[in-house]
Amino acid sequence: MAKRRILLKLSGEALMGSQGESLDPPFLRALAAEIREVWGLGVQVGVVIGGGNIFRGAYGASLGMERSSADQMGMLATVINSLGVQAALEGCGVPTRVLSAIPMSPIAEPFVQRDAVRHLEEGRVVIFAAGTGNPYFTTDTAASLRAAEIHADLLLKATKVDGVYDSDPKKNPDAKRFTSLTYDEVLRLGLGVMDLTAITLCRDNRIPLCVFSILERGCLTAILSGEPRGTTIGFGGVERS
């Protein structure tokens, strides 16, 4: 494995079941097995999870809620998801810690950068909950921030499609997938891979990013083994498949 320490970003929607459940047990077990496989190879794994399967701050704001309060509800949703993923991981024998940006000591440790790195070095999967702890920031930005703070070698963004396309592949059957991009190209082309703050954090801290499909079993291990999967974003150039 070329990458020693990674940060995996999961959307909350990825955790949903086909019947609309907020958390899908079969998917959680499959996800835990994927993470366990790379963890078992000695890769240090951090995880950031969104909360969109439960509540989105932007949705609350659209209903007339005060945005800060709505975003705080969204942050709490990520804590629920983090505890669900922790249970799945520990159920298959992977030691795990949840570190929350919002203090809630009975259920999670407070986020401290040095503690996070220590847990990773001691072989635990670290799940970063509650986003950045601040309203108006997405969990994509939280993932980029945590990746920088733990000095991750790679940020992996798990989606429901197999990379970044020049248009929506669900609407356009002729959409072309990029195999590689630079961060500046993502910003210039307005591809919407992550929000502006998240992309800029990755670029400025020279953290390579890979966008891949979490629905493709074994993809995580394949990427870390050097196989060409998804779309890599860094400091190379545009390539389409």
- Tell me the binding residues for UMP: 51, 71, 132-139
Q: Which residues pair with 38 in a beta bridge?
A: none
Question: Pick from 7, 44, 235, 12: which is nearest to 138 by CA?
Answer: 12
Positions at the binding site: 9-12, 51-52, 56, 71, 132-139, 159, 165, 168
Rounded CA-CA distance 66/218 in Å is 42
Amino acid at 3: K
Positions at the binding site for ATP: 9-12, 52, 56, 159, 165, 168
Tokens representing residue 26 in the block: 């079969």
Rounded CA-CA distance 41/71 in Å is 37
**What does the buried/exposed string (b/e) look like for 103-124 if buried means 16 or more CB atoms within 10 Å of the residue's CB?**
eeeeebbebeeeebbebbeeeb
Would you state the torsion angle of the CA atoms of residues 34, 39, 44, 46, taken in this order, to the nearest 10 degrees?
Answer: 30
Tokens representing residue 146 in the block: 């945590």
